[in-house]
Structure 1
Amino acid sequence: MRATPDLSFGELTPEFMLDALEAAGLRPDGRMLQLNSFENRVLQVHLEDGQAVVAKFYRPGRWTDAQILEEHAFAAELAAAEVPVVAPWSLRDESGQAATLVHVAGQRLAVAPRQGGRGPELEDPEVLRWIGRLLARLHEVGRRQAFRHRVDWHSAGPACAARDWLLANDALPPEIAPAWADVTAQCIAMIEAAFASLPDLQLCRLHGDCHPGNILWTPDAGPHFVDLDDAVNGPVVQDLWMLLSGDADQANHQLRALLEGYEQIADFDDRELRLIEPLRTLRMIHYSAWLARRWGDPAFPLAFPWFGTANYWMDQVSLLREQLTAMQPKDAQPQAPRLDDEVDFDGDGFA
């Protein structure tokens, strides 16, 4: 596999990050804790006034400023509609103007208040109904307009881009690449056919990466969303399927509870259930490319030592062949996510 650029944020020393926060108009007291995030560099920082904030330094080259600002605007719009999300603060940029995204010495920074919580108890139907209602409210806001700059997640386009990049960059062992390319081409054709079967599919702005790790629960207020870093235009079922777990029966019960809550607020097009397996397949292909693209960051080989091996790619061929069966139109029953589905591309707890 060809080496990818080193995006390890090596220049982001504690001193640099504290200076950047001061340049943005904040006064940190020196206490900081690095939070779990593979995609960006994210810190919990205490300020002299007693507040604690989450500071995010964005990975170079992943999103444009326009895409990030569109995410921030969506978070602010949700907060204004009283949908519980953590929206970024307005900071001071290098010219002294107020902005939610600031540039400091070549790095891009955003800050939001820290808001704690624990993972939701998805075995509880009432918790699922509550989350379903919350997602319906998020999607009602999302339907007001479409993202102009962010990714569209309503075709096989992201899977095609991932496939093409992996093959062009020799990411697979030569002896496995033909089999993987063949099964991936079949999967992409079935993903496209699934979306083509719903030509009048209604799309909206989504959370985009709505797995249990991106919903935090507090006893008094219930759930709130974090990490809109992967917000996209797409079908609303994309924000539902990653919340399912267990075997098929358990997943069906969970889905029923989610939809009971959802439909208390908004209508749900049941035809979108046909898209669960195509969306899962799309994410699997995209996930492999995400890991390969980040391999030049030293954090990735340490965290994912199994990636890129012959066994990994052979397993992917087998899993994608299983998805060909799962995507057959007769199979509309949801299944539990595989382990790869539960990986947070960002994992930063920051809206």
Structure 2
Amino acid sequence: MSAAEPGQFGVLGVQTGRDWPCLTAEEIRAVLAHYPGVVPGGTCAWHSMRPFSAAALVTGAGEACLIKRHHSSLRNVAALSEEHAFMQHLAREGVPVCLPCVTAEGTTALAHNDWTYEVFPRAPGEDMYRDVMSWQPYLCPEHAYAAGQALARLHHAAASYSAPDRAAGRALISSMAVIGQADLMAALQAWVPAQPGLAQALRSRSWQEDVQRVLSPWHDRLVPLLPEIVPCGGHGDWHGSNLLWTPQGDIACVLDFGMAGRTCAMFDLATALERSMVDWLAPAQERHVAGQDMAAFLRGYATISPPDDTARALLRAFLPLVHVEFALSEVAYFETLLHDPSSASVAYDDYLLGHAQWFNSAEGQAMLDVCSRRGTGA
């Protein structure tokens, strides 16, 4: 059981080193031994290049399966169980998700030493974005349209899911626990110490001054709209590489609920736009919006869930802010878990502050204007 060890997608593009080692043949056999419904053995056909965890596709002995390994400080059994419960609800509501396999003990996650594992049957559909960096534009407007429709259907299904917010104390979650409060600074002062490693990672940074300078002006525009928010579960990381596709360009399966949380539909829609419609790896002065993709995505979403004026206003207000809590969590992840201060600086300067500042540019303002415009789906 072998495959060449790939590099990894990092904060500045493809990097040769990996934050988490690839799964080994011995490790895969040991994990699959806990899953009576999965035939052990076979060949490791592919190692994922996505960050934050290690994943491998195993084929050959029986039905193919995907094994995913997380560090327990990021995702323990309880955290994965929260994700799996949301996925199970969505499946009951008709959303095409791939449900995890069950261990002999009846759980959907497995803990061993410092690691937590989950195993999935091979999901239906083609992984057209497997070799594309995360958070890049869609391959074509038709994909963007289908993705917009599918996200709206997920939001309809998630509206009846009532589990509490899972953001408290969980790293790397798409959350509005802070930006959804009227007093941004007070909310951050309470939230930062509760996030693993974050207070330590921010000690050398003038983060409160930066928040007041860069983020508070955007948050002031959101505050009057906060009473209009209707909470619901969100995917939290909606982009092309978390979707599998049919040959006709439709969505065959929705993947990866690791960043899912209780937010609201417009927050989740803004997250999908922020992560897929801007080429963030380009220099700021050369950064462009994938305008055709964005218009198609919003049209697709509106065929299932047409936004009213309040929804459009929320979408515009959320867009410069949806990254805030995830970006801060990334700062802690790189600084205190991976001991990678250069990546932590990118997460803080280019992501937390840089994304919000970009929305003051002409391109950023034009993107916000599309969210407010009637007749384009938004």
Q: What band does the TM-score fall into relative to the shorter chain?
A: 0.7 to 0.9
Summarize deviations over 1:174-224 as a string: whole Å, max 9, x none: 5xx33x542134345345434422121122111101133222323146223
CA contact 2:42–2:59 (8 Å) conserved in 1: yes
CA distance 1:206–1:281, shift in 2 (3 Å): same
1:153 to 2:202 alignment: no
1:131 is aligned to: 147
Amino acid at match of 1:287: E
1:307 to 2:334 alignment: no
1:44 alignment partner, SS class: strand
1:266 to 2:305 alignment: yes
CA distance 1:188–1:219, shift in 2 (3 Å): same
Which of the pair has the greater relative contact order for Cα pairs under 8 Å at 6+ separation?
A: 1
C-alpha distance in 2 between matches for 1:240 and 1:261: 13
Deviation at 1:227, TM superposition (A): 0.8
Provide the identity percentage.
20
CA distance 1:324–1:242, shift in 2 (3 Å): closer
C-alpha distance in 2 between matches for 1:10 and 1:258: 36
Matches within 5 A, 1:340-351: none
1:58 is aligned to: 70
- TM-score, L = length of structure 1: 0.72
CA contact 2:235–2:257 (8 Å) conserved in 1: yes
Deviation at 1:55, TM superposition (A): 1.1
Instruction: Kindly report the root-mean-square deviation, in angstroms, between the aligned alpha carbons of the 2 structures.
Output: 3.7
2:119 alignment partner, SS class: strand
Summarize deviations over 1:108-142 as a string: whole Å, max 9, x none: 32211223420298353332221111111111111
2:138 is aligned to: 122
C-alpha distance in 1 between matches for 2:34 and 2:330: 36
Deviation at 1:280, TM superposition (A): 3.6
2:321 alignment partner, SS class: helix
1:169 is aligned to: 200
CA contact 1:251–1:334 (8 Å) conserved in 2: no
CA distance 1:87–1:293, shift in 2 (3 Å): farther
Structure 2: gaps (5+ residues): 1-18, 168-173, 180-186, 280-285, 369-378
- TM-score, L = length of structure 2: 0.68
1:241 alignment partner, SS class: helix
C-alpha distance in 2 between matches for 1:20 and 1:249: 44
1:245 is aligned to: 278
1:222 to 2:238 alignment: no
Summarize deviations over 1:56-113 as a string: whole Å, max 9, x none: 22321223533321211222222233322222122312xxxx2222345674322112
Matches within 5 A, 1:188-337: 188-190=215-217, 192-198=219-225, 199-220=227-248, 222-223=250-251, 224-236=253-265, 237=269, 238-245=271-278, 250-268=289-307, 269-271=311-313, 272-296=315-339, 301=340, 306-308=342-344, 312=346, 316=349, 320=353, 323-324=356-357, 326=359, 333-334=366-367
CA contact 1:41–1:56 (8 Å) conserved in 2: yes
Amino acid at match of 2:79: Q
Structure 1: gaps (5+ residues): 1-7, 336-351
Deviation at 1:18, TM superposition (A): 0.9
Equivalent pairs, count: 307
CA distance 1:291–1:185, shift in 2 (3 Å): farther
C-alpha distance in 1 between matches for 2:31 and 2:351: 47
